[in-house]
């Protein structure tokens, strides 16, 4: 048996490795506090579940769905974008359903990257941007996300020869793993850059609604000229606590939507209609759970940030996502630090190196456990004398 070279280029998936460490610790009887994977701990709102149950009993939902998503679901996406961002989308040409945004993100590289083509991807970043490039036999070019730049890629640092060879640029704001945000002025710079070098902008927008302290995240499609060069990926996972449901969508350039559709029609058969009907209910129904989620995550964020700062860190509260990006003491190796606190405290955090070279010296904390457990985590760190004496 000879495995494809593309498989050999791909490192073990970060979160699968974290799961292995968690299971090994549990087998030893450790009381684990898992702050690793960003999976919401809250249930899907009841009215969405009720719609799924009702729709699943309807035989009309049991056949193959349209590849690109039902007209009703795509219209609900379009209506949501208009209400939320003031962006008027054509649901037939500028919206496509996804089996979770991860699926669409992975497949867009097959639609645009030929062997040897370059994709401009941030570092650190969600690992699928890199692996999607490799699966398409492309070459990832890493744009450093540095604290001194607000974790925004410095477009001026990209060599013109690289930019001209590139096919697409991937961004993600609000950002995983750093929690950073971007404003419309920066988005305009990216749009101008993309038009200069004939690039597709791919924007991972999964955390748009998890924003704090009055901040509201902008869509790339609010920028003049962006819809011609941008494909924005969204998910119901984080906003509606639907990670396991696997439903999302991509919107923007009709040409890009059409190209992605060609890939999808050849590799999947769409989303179960009952889930799409539940997705319509999520997007068009009551949104009152979102302010409650924001309040909950704000409280959790404050517990973690205040607690770590009392232990010697100097962390500013992130404005969005449910992550806190934490430098290791004295820029200690991220994997060593993660293993150290797991051994000493039973706390799982994600080593930043798993998101790329520029994630070294950081760990990501997910705010996906309740306040008492977060306070317990801070207490465990204190008792284990895990401090940041470097005062970064």
Q: Domain spanning 46-284: which CATH class is it, in words?
A: alpha beta
Which residues in the chain show pLDDT less than 70?
Answer: 13-15, 390-392
What's the burial of 216, exposed, middle or buried (CB within 10 Å: 0-12/13-18/19+)? exposed
User: Bridge partners of 142?
Assistant: 121
Three-class SS string for 55-87?
HHCCHHHCCCCCCCCCHHHHHHHHHHHHHHHCC
Are 235 and 41 in contact, with CB atoms under 8 Å apart?
A: no
Classify 328 as helix, strand or coil. coil
Q: Which of 334, 382, 325 shows the shortest CA–CA distance to 38? A: 325
**Rounded to whole angstroms, how far apart are CA atoms 264 and 370?**
38
* Long-range pairs for 91-94: beta carbons < 8 A, 24 or more residues apart: 93/254, 93/257, 93/258, 94/227, 94/251, 94/252, 94/253, 94/254, 94/257
Question: What local confidence, expressed as pLDDT, does residue 14 receive?
Answer: 65
Residue length of the chain:
392
- Give the domain ranges of the chain: 5-43+289-383, 46-284
Q: What is the pLDDT of residue 392?
A: 40
Using an 8 Å Cβ cutoff, are 257 and 96 in contact? yes
Residue 30 CA to residue 32 CA, distance in Å, equals 6
Reduced to 3 states (helix: H, G, I; strand: E, B; else coil), residue 169 is: strand
- pLDDT reported for residue 25: 81
pLDDT digits (tens, 9 = 90+) for 344-390: 999 999 999 999 999 999 999 999 999 999 999 999 999 999 999 86
CA dist., res. 116 & res. 81, Å (int): 35
* DSSP per residue, 109-136: HHHHPPTT-EEEEEES--THHHHHHHHT
Global pTM reads 0.96
Q: How far apart are CA 357 and CA 361, in angstroms?
A: 9
Alpha-carbon distance of 220 to 185, in angstroms, equals 10
CA distance 233 to 104: 8
pLDDT computed for residue 28 by the predictor: 85
Q: Please state which CATH class domain 5-43+289-383 belongs to.
A: alpha beta
The pLDDT assigned to 271 comes to 98
CA-based radius of gyration for the chain: 21
3-class SS at 203? strand
pLDDT tens digits for 31-82? 999 999 899 999 999 999 999 999 999 999 999 999 999 999 999 999 999 9
Residue pair 350/366 in contact by the 8 Å Cβ criterion: yes
Rounded CA gap, 320 and 176, in Å?
Answer: 10
123 in Cβ contact with 359 (< 8 Å): yes
Q: Is residue 71 within 8 Å of residue 205, measured between CB atoms? A: no
Distance CA(172)–CA(152), nearest Å, equals 10
Distance CA 14, CA 367 (A): 18
CB distance 106 to 100 below 8 Å: no
Q: Is the peptide bond before 124 cis (omega within 30 degrees of 0)?
A: yes
Residue with tokens 């909950």: 296
Element (H, E) at 286: none
């Amino acid at each position: 048996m000879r495995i494809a070279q593309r498989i050999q280029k791909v490192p073990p998936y970060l979160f699968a490795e974290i799961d292995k460490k968690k299971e090994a610790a549990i087998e030893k009887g450790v009381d684990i506090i898992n702050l690793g994977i960003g999976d919401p701990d809250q249930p899907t709102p009841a009215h969405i579940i009720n719609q799924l149950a009702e729709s699943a009993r309807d035989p009309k939902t049991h056949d193959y769905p349209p590849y690109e998503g039902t007209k009703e679901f795509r219209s609900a996406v379009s209506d949501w974008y208009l209400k939320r961002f003031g962006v008027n989308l054509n649901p037939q040409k500028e919206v496509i359903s996804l089996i979770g945004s991860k699926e669409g993100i992975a497949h867009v590289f097959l639609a645009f990257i030929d062997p040897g083509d370059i994709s401009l991807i941030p570092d650190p970043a969600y690992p699928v941007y890199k692996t999607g490039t490799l699966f398409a036999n492309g070459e990832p070019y890493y744009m450093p996300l540095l604290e001194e730049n607000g974790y925004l890629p410095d477009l001026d640092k990209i060599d013109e020869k690289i930019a001209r060879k590139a096919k697409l640029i991937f961004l993600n704001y609000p950002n995983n793993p750093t929690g950073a945000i971007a404003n419309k002025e920066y988005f305009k710079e990216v749009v101008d850059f993309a038009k200069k070098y004939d690039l597709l902008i791919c924007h991972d927008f999964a955390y748009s609604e998890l924003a704090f302290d009055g901040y509201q995240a902008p869509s790339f499609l609010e920028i003049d000229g962006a819809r011609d060069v941008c494909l924005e990926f969204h998910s119901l996972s984080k906003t509606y606590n639907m990670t396991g449901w696997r439903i999302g969508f991509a919107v923007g350039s009709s040409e890009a939507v059409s190209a992605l559709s060609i890939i999808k029609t050849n590799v999947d058969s769409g989303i179960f209609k009952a889930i799409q009907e539940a997705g319509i209910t999520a997007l068009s129904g009551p949104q009152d759970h979102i302010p409650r989620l924001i309040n909950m995550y704000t409280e959790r964020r404050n517990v973690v940030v205040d607690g770590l700062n009392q232990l010697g860190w100097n962390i500013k509260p992130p404005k969005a996502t449910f992550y806190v990006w934490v430098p290791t003491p004295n820029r200690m190796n991220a994997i060593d630090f993660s293993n150290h606190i797991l051994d000493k405290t039973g706390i799982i955090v994600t080593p930043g190196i798993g998101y790329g070279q520029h994630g070294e010296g950081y760990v990501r904390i997910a705010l996906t456990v309740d306040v008492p457990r977060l306070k317990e985590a801070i207490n465990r760190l204190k008792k284990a004398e895990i401090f940041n004496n470097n005062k970064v």
